Amino acid sequence: MARVHTKEIIDKFQLELVSGEEGVHRSVTTSDLSRPGLEMAGYFTFYPAERLQLLGKTELSFLSDLDPDRRMERLNRLCTDETPGIIITRDMEVPKELLKASHISGVPIMRSKLTTTRLSSRLTNYLESRLAPTTAMHGVLVDIYGIGVLITGNSGVGKSETALELVKRGHRLVADDSVEIRQEDEDTLIGSAPELIQHLLEIRGLGIINVMTLFGAGAVRNYKKIALVINLETWDAKKVYDRLGLEDEMMQILDTEIPILTVPVRPGRNLAVIIEVASMNFRLKKMGMNAAKQFSERLTNVIETPDEEDY
């Protein structure tokens, strides 16, 4: 399970650690945040203790109206062994009862100068990115005319050589050999390269080359949304390949379905040009211009239109 430590959040958002230093290595395992308003009123039946807790102006104002004993009881129940941290927003003063509860439980108490709404938005975006489901695939990811194309296929089929030709034609390499894929939401997959092999390309006979050093910073990018998968496979004379492109095949990666094209490989085929054109055609389809469907409709009209000689 992906997780983020409270210490990373403190460093990322430049939070002030007020109390509970021994708890900064607690783990955050969900991107959901909690503003414990009902809990301040005494209702802890469904208290999400595993979430980061945000106390803003409303919560602290309500707390200040409680008598000291009740305030202490509520804050003790707020600080559990599961709670990764409590953040006070707007740089407001931390209640002394909360500091006592923190010393007992070890829950980190942090303070931010941001408003509650702004901090909540930024925290949610950061946690959703860090805690998103991830996987790794063997392939090459290239940014072609703004389209993230994941090139897959068996080892030795020519993926890296094709990527090199695409880079020479002005496109940008994201990852070679191993592509780390993160699902940021239901239909968004973000691909990137493992840090160890970032900007590197392996060409059999040449070895490892650094694309950024050879072609410049404009030839690489660190991550890209994956929109299309192109699978390269050795030409099989017995197999029937799609010649019209009327039916869209889909491939599931994590919980997201991505269009996939199968391109047969044999001597004489310029794979870089084919993939380049496939990317442009994919963009046209997204704009509502499908050449295969237009041809099919024209063919149907010709077949259905009676010939004048029949009359």
> Which domains are seen in the chain, by residue range?
4-130 (3.40.1390.20), 134-290 (3.40.50.300)
Q: Report residue 117 as tokens.
A: 């709404």
Instruction: Note the pLDDT of residue 244.
Output: 66
Annotated binding residue 42:
no
The verdict on whether 177 is a catalytic residue reads yes
Annotated binding residue 153:
yes
Q: Report residue 172 as tokens.
A: 């940008």
The verdict on whether 138 is a catalytic residue reads yes
In Å, how far from its chain's centre is CA 245?
29
Instruction: Note the pLDDT of residue 166.
Output: 95
Q: Return the closest-CA partner of residue 233 out of 278, 274, 264.
A: 264
Which is the catalytic residue, given 238, 239, 243, 266?
243
Q: Could you tell me if 196 and 208 are in contact, meaning their C-beta atoms sit under 8 angstroms apart?
A: no
Which is the catalytic residue, given 159, 171, 172, 199?
159
Q: Could you tell me if 171 and 142 are in contact, meaning their C-beta atoms sit under 8 angstroms apart?
A: yes
Annotated binding residue 112:
no
Q: Could you tell me if 166 and 275 are in contact, meaning their C-beta atoms sit under 8 angstroms apart?
A: yes
Residue 245: pLDDT band by 50, 70, 90 thresholds?
low
136 pLDDT above the threshold of 60: yes
Which is the catalytic residue, given 113, 138, 169, 298?
138
- Residue 164 to residue 211: CA distance in whole angstroms: 8
Going by the DSSP 8-state scheme, the letter that residue 22 receives in this structure is: G
Q: Model-level pTM? A: 0.74
Annotated binding residue 159:
yes
Residue 286: pLDDT band by 50, 70, 90 thresholds?
confident
Q: Could you tell me if 264 and 294 are in contact, meaning their C-beta atoms sit under 8 angstroms apart?
A: no
Instruction: Note the pLDDT of residue 139.
Output: 94
The verdict on whether 71 is a catalytic residue reads no
Which is the catalytic residue, given 5, 177, 225, 269?
177
The verdict on whether 255 is a catalytic residue reads no
Going by the DSSP 8-state scheme, the letter that residue 114 receives in this structure is: S
Neighbours of 280 (CB within 10 A): 13
Neighbours of 162 (CB within 10 A): 24
Q: Largest alpha-carbon pair distance within the chain? A: 100
More confident residue, 289 or 92: 92
Going by the DSSP 8-state scheme, the letter that residue 194 receives in this structure is: -
pLDDT tens profile 147-181: 999 999 998 888 999 999 999 999 999 999 999 99
